[in-house]
Amino acid sequence: MKGAFIQMGIVNHEKTDLHGITVHTIETKKYKTTSFILQIKQSINEKNVTKRALLSYVLQSGTKDFPSSKELRSALDDLYGATLNADLSKKGENQVISIRMEVANEKFLSKSEPVLDKAFHLLSQVLLAPALENGVFKENIVKKEKRSLKQQIESIYDDKMRYANKRLLEEMYESEPYHLNVYGNENEVDAITSKELFDYYQEVIMKDRIDLYVIGDISTKEMVEKVKKHFRFSENRNETVETDKQNREEKKISEVKEIFEEQDVQQGKLHMGYRTYTTYSDEDYFALQVFNGVYGGFSHSKLFINVREKESLAYYAASRFESHKGAVFVMSGIETGNYEKAVKIIKEQHEEIKNGNITDAEFEQTKAMINNQVLETIDHPIGLSEVLYHNVVAGTNRTIEEWIEGIQNVTKEDVVSVAKKVTLDTIFFLKGAGTNGNENI
Amino acid sequence: MGMKTFEQLDETLHFEELENGLKVYVLEKKGFNKTYATFTTHYGSVDNHFKPLGKNEEVKVPDGIAHFLEHKLFEKEHGDVFQDFSKQGASANAFTTFNRTAYLFSTTSDVKKNLTTLIDFVQEPYFTEKTVEKEKGIIGQEIRMYDDNPDWRVYFGLIENMYHHHPVKIDIAGTEKSIAKITKDTLYECYETFYHPSNMILFVVGPVNAQEILHFVKENQSQKSFKEKAPIERFFADEPPAVAKTEKIIEMTVQTPKCYIGFKEATPKRKGKELMRHELCVNLALEMMFGKSSPNYEALYEEGLIDQTFSFDYTEENGFGFSMLGGDTQSPDELVKRVSNMVEAFKQDNISTDSFERARKKKIGAFLRSLNSPEFIANQFTRYAFNEMDLFDVIPVFESLQASDVEEVLQNHFKKEAMTVCQVRKKKS
């Protein structure tokens, strides 16, 4: 054990650094299950983005002992329907693979079965003992998962909100890695060979930052022993997560980029991207949280009140932000003809905050809602692991109590100064061309 | 006041039916930060033909009115109730289904204050012509948002195919045309009939003291007066067992086609334990036929006919029931052919004990997992209660099922003449 870090309070979070992996244990009796969340982090880049996406598909499709999807799924079903899934997310300029497993707590089963140890073993095998043939990933798994990945990439086009969001990022971050789609590029998928993918996998195991969260009615000591037993990494492992320092100095904006695209949709999708020049580790991060809350995070926020309630222009009008890239995104579904009007109102609301026009009620409401939101998030095992994982991504050590206190201490002046930094960069509007989806037969 | 302990699950449920007929349930969840409360009426989009409370003539109301009413209850003379909740640190929401309308909040502070807000806003309607008109623009945009959503279109398309008359085939939000006919008077008429406390359930789950909450709610209700409770008369036209339409193709701007296959339940009249057994059996049958560990799933996935969007489900309520399965696919027609052959072949074969046991274990695990979620407990408990079932019976009922029970639903539910298909395909330019 290299070192332990214990955090008591709202959650009992204990952190143990082992060779190759950091174990985070949260002992709690709240749940009827035990959750495992593996987070595998590397910087996102053009060269590997598609391979990394494909890898997350391949790893959950078979292990050495259960070398096909069907066998692996049967093993999970036998473990009282343990769930296993891998997915991808972009956290700042990182492409994170999350492998999650959830298994019933033995004490709630009528026949007591040792599911926990089996689950531990299975999870470690998913990461460290994949299904191979001739020393590389099994060809037929790779082939199938390529198809699934391509379908996943294509499906973004069919969900117009996601599509508009993707297009906004491509335009806004044209020359930064953040523009990359977390699922990679469709036209690169076919060319990846099993060998290339396996070589890349070995690089992941040697270099990526790996964290494991275990949440449930567990004992830290026992879990750490199990990790030591099941998760063995090579002596030569050398963690190297590249960070692109240049991208911290974000580009200044001289002119707002406005992009229009037309499709046969009933409702126009308006997406606006702002740079904030503030990220999770910054001091004014809490002020940015409150800014986003006053602007568009809730149903009392300026966007909801003005775009929806006062003008009936939309069903949804909201903002959200990305903590590690430091961006605020506004989205609203509107009538195509109302574009100018909606954009004007959305911009005006930002100006209002810059000018300090925030009532005491909306300010206090926002803080109460953020407080509520974080406490609710940590009621859920995945939510809790995500909140804690922010610290790993940002290289900070913030406790949940500090987080809550940080929000409480924000003043209106703090929100005004952060609002002045927040700058509109790009507007993407997916316009409707008008007609209904035709029904045949 | 009643109390029921589910030892195996380590849960205790407290409940009471108040004088005015309101049923109140409280589940204490220690260790959680959040309290979640739902106030639900047994009234949804299918209840469009009924006898208004205290009247003799039956009425038919515009499509989408239950959902419209849900939106409008949030608006009061003093403003928007969403704001009242957020001032008290709670987030509120509501949703309308085929036969329920639920109002809810979650909070980590001021539980009683928020509970008062919830109960009072639902029990004090305030509709004016002006606010009703204003809402039409907002709901119009909500309808268009769903119109652009291919998953929603294919889901509803499939239900439309199944039913000749039953109002389950009507889109929950209605259409821009149907909601144009809604007035404040029709809203009040629906409200008076369906929002009587005796038609409603209040469910509170979180780190609360159950006795205290029950007492508090009783106090609130004792200060209000309600009309005498009377049974609600709802009318549904006779629905034949066969599907109305066997196939539909919807063209939209998508890249990947979507295909769903549905089986319409011929006798959806069950209640209580019988309904629970039946629902769980059909879901077990689906799991055994098409679950991720089944040979069929493996074959379809390998042939490239399905991807990770593939899913299935069975649902039944009073008067309608259907199973559906499908997802994104490059070859919808081929998928339909393969799936229907697989169903037929499965019906011919004997059920293997192994796969029955595995499916059951999987379902029990999934159920335990969902009990981590206060939202699931409150919403599902209410749905079950409206159908005279008890959510906490799920595990014992699962444990009492036999392979032969599944055999029976296989033969009775998955019939060729009960099958229908809906596809979303790429629009030709």
Choosing from B234, B255, B272, the residue where a domain stops is: B234
What integer pLDDT is reported at residue A110 of this predicted model?
67
Domain assignment present for B239: no
Domain assignment present for A441: no
Q: Which residue has the tokens 């939202």?
A: B375
What integer pLDDT is reported at residue A437 of this predicted model?
35
In the predicted model, is pLDDT for residue B429 greater than 70? Answer: no
Q: What is the largest CA-CA distance in chain A?
A: 68
What integer pLDDT is reported at residue A249 of this predicted model?
58
Residue of B70, B135, B265, B287 marked active site: B70
What integer pLDDT is reported at residue A112 of this predicted model?
65
What's the token pair of residue B356? 């029955």
Dist CA A64 CA A72 (whole Å): 10
Domain assignment present for A242: no
Pairing verdict, β A257-263 and A423-432: parallel
Residues of chain A found within 8 Å of residue B298, distances taken between Cβ atoms: 68-70
Provide the domain count of chain A: 2
Could you tell me if A223 and A294 lie in one domain? Answer: no
Choosing from A230, A265, A300, the residue where a domain stops is: A230
Could you tell me if A200 and A257 lie in one domain? Answer: no
Mean pLDDT, residues B14-30 taken together = 95
Cβ–Cβ gap A437/B91 under 8 Å: no
Choosing from B205, B234, B263, the residue where a domain stops is: B234
Residues of chain A found within 8 Å of residue B359, distances taken between Cβ atoms: 77
Q: Would you tell me which residues 105-124 of chain B have a C-beta closer than 8 angstroms to some C-beta of chain A?
A: 106-109
Q: Does B137 contact chain A (CB < 8 Å)? A: yes
What's the token pair of residue B234? 């709802």
Q: Which residues of B341-354 are buried (b: 16+ CB within 10 A; e: fewer)?
A: ebbeebeeeebeee
Q: Would you tell me which residues 6-25 of chain B have a C-beta closer than 8 angstroms to some C-beta of chain A?
A: 8-10
Domain assignment present for B10: yes
Could you tell me if A190 and A258 lie in one domain? Answer: no
Which structural domain, as residue segments, surrounds residue A423?
248-432
Pick the closest to residue B88 from A411, A294, A300, A317 (CA basis).
A300
What's the token pair of residue A120? 């531990």
pLDDT tens per residue, range B61-72: 999 999 999 999
The side-by-side arrangement of strands in the sheet containing B49-51 is B59-60, B49-51, B233-234
Pick the closest to residue B134 from A150, A308, A300, A183 (CA basis).
A308
The CATH number given to whatever domain includes residue A278 is 3.30.830.10
Could you tell me if A279 and A413 lie in one domain? Answer: yes
Dist CA B185 CA B183 (whole Å): 5
- Give the single-character DSSP code of A246: G
Domain assignment present for A243: no
Could you tell me if A177 and A206 lie in one domain? Answer: yes
Could you tell me if A426 and A399 lie in one domain? Answer: yes
Domain assignment present for A134: yes
DSSP one-letter string for B181-246: T--HHHHHHHHHHH-SGGGEEEEEEES--HHHHHHHHHHHHHTS--PPP-PPEE------SS-S-S
Q: Which residues of A194-218 are buried (b: 16+ CB within 10 A; e: fewer)?
A: beebbebbeebeeebbbbbbbbbbb
Which structural domain, as residue segments, surrounds residue B18?
2-234
Cβ–Cβ gap A299/B82 under 8 Å: yes
**Range list of H helices, A11-98:** 49-59, 69-78
Q: How many CB pairs under 8 A join A and B?
A: 215
Domain assignment present for A438: no
Could you tell me if B179 and B262 lie in one domain? Answer: no
Domain assignment present for A112: yes
Q: Indicate if B375 belongs to the active site.
A: no
Domain assignment present for A218: yes
- Given a contact cutoff of 8 angstroms between Cβ atoms, the answer to whether A34 and A119 are in contact is yes
pLDDT tens per residue, range B161-171: 999 999 999 99
Could you tell me if B254 and B354 lie in one domain? Answer: yes
Could you tell me if B251 and B230 lie in one domain? Answer: no
Could you tell me if B334 and B418 lie in one domain? Answer: yes
Q: Would you tell me which residues 42-61 of chain B have a C-beta closer than 8 angstroms to some C-beta of chain A?
A: none
Alpha carbon of B122 to those of B71, B80, B116, B386: distances in Å? 11, 13, 10, 19
Residues of chain B found within 8 Å of residue A70, distances taken between Cβ atoms: 292-295, 297-298
- Give the single-character DSSP code of A68: S
Q: Does B403 contact chain A (CB < 8 Å)? A: no
Choosing from B210, B234, B258, the residue where a domain stops is: B234
Could you tell me if A209 and A354 lie in one domain? Answer: no
Could you tell me if B153 and B264 lie in one domain? Answer: no
pLDDT tens per residue, range B175-226: 999 999 999 999 999 999 999 999 999 999 999 999 999 999 999 999 999 9
Positions of chain A with pLDDT under 70: 1-9, 110-112, 244-250, 434-441
Residues of chain A found within 8 Å of residue B86, distances taken between Cβ atoms: 298-300, 365, 368-369
Q: Would you tell me which residues 246-305 of chain B have a C-beta closer than 8 angstroms to some C-beta of chain A?
A: 247-256, 291-295, 297-298, 301-302, 304
Provide the domain count of chain B: 2
Domain assignment present for B303: yes
Residues of chain B found within 8 Å of residue A364, distances taken between Cβ atoms: 87
Cβ–Cβ gap A369/B89 under 8 Å: yes
Where does B235-300 show beta strands of DSSP type E?
247-252, 258-264
What integer pLDDT is reported at residue A245 of this predicted model?
54
Q: Phi and psi at residue B111, in whole multiples of 5°?
A: -60, -45
What integer pLDDT is reported at residue A439 of this predicted model?
35
The CATH number given to whatever domain includes residue B281 is 3.30.830.10
Could you tell me if A310 and A167 lie in one domain? Answer: no
Mean pLDDT, residues B296-322 taken together = 94
- Given a contact cutoff of 8 angstroms between Cβ atoms, the answer to whether A437 and B147 are in contact is yes
Could you tell me if B42 and B137 lie in one domain? Answer: yes
Q: Which residue in chain B is spatially nearest to A60 when comparing CA positions?
A: B308
Could you tell me if A178 and A277 lie in one domain? Answer: no
Could you tell me if A214 and A281 lie in one domain? Answer: no
pLDDT tens per residue, range A320-360: 999 999 999 999 999 999 999 999 999 999 999 999 999 99
